[in-house]
Amino acid sequence: MRGKEIRLERIMRRDTGTTVIVPMDHGVTSGPIPGLIDLDRSVELVARGGANAVIGHMGLALHGHRKGGPDIGLILHLSASTDLGPDPNDKVLVNTVQNALKMGADGVSVHINIGAESEARMLQDLGSIAIECIEWGMPLLAMMYPRGKKINYDNMVDSIKIAARVASELGADIVKTVYTGDPDTFREVTEGCHVPVVIAGGSKSDDLTTLKLIEGSMEGGGAGVSIGRNAFQHKYPDKFVRAATMIVHERRSAEEAMEILNQD
């Protein structure tokens, strides 16, 4: 387990236990979208802004590795589906923990859609990967999303609470899930989960809305963010990430963080 502790410190700040992660795994799901055409440049910009880690598939490790610039943690994503598949919610394993170690990863991640028709198999995959991560001392981030016919989208809090708890019960070290909308209900999620919870960024939004979302999640006991499009598709990814780190690591307000984005 010492290996896990050491690697976790590469993707989470050891003094605060918080993290700013930028997922860049969208190339498999959606193809070469804006912001991810030039992978090494994208990694360079978010690293310059102070991101703790990036998430990506093998392509990120193979084609986004820089030989200079600020250091940044690598979380290798092990599951995938595409927007063109018959069921994009059906995630399958496409990589292994052992290969992630060979690629120099500091952690691995898997995506599980709670409530999807293929939930049972995805949960089986999560459990198996968690056991391998314990064996190899590899941190595991579980992306847990409530999606399916039984999900009550008018009252998502209970579904998000279940999704987060499932991940911690099955051995994840960090849980990524959606924000509930306010600090009080999000605290129900974080208090019901044994491990740190970070929020997803969701669809592309304006800066202040996204920063307020981050602020609210931290007030609700969150451990940080895992924000993709709002970071790498920003006009100034380095500035946006710096603003996010101010809220996550320094506990500054969204308004204070906006000052960074308003600077020339």
Phi, psi of 64 (to 5 degrees): -110, 5
236 is catalytic: no
User: Which residue in 91, 161, 176, 239 is the catalytic one?
Assistant: 176
| C-alpha pair distances (Å), 10 with each of 49, 65, 168 | 16, 16, 20
> Which two structure tokens, joined as six digits, stand for 264?
């020339």
> Which two structure tokens, joined as six digits, stand for 76?
């290798």
Q: Number of helices and strands (H, E) in the chain?
A: 12, 10
145 is catalytic: yes
176 is catalytic: yes
DSSP tag of 40 = H
Computed from CA positions of residues 138, 21, 176, 16, in that sequence, does the dihedral angle turn out positive or negative?
Answer: positive
Residue 169 falls in which region: left (phi positive, over 0), alpha (psi -120 to 50) or beta? alpha
Buried b (16+ CB within 10 A) or exposed e, 200-210: bbeeeeebeeb
Q: What is the CA radius of gyration of the chain?
A: 17
User: Which residue in 106, 125, 145, 238 is the catalytic one?
Assistant: 145
Q: Which of the residues are catalytic?
A: 25, 145, 176
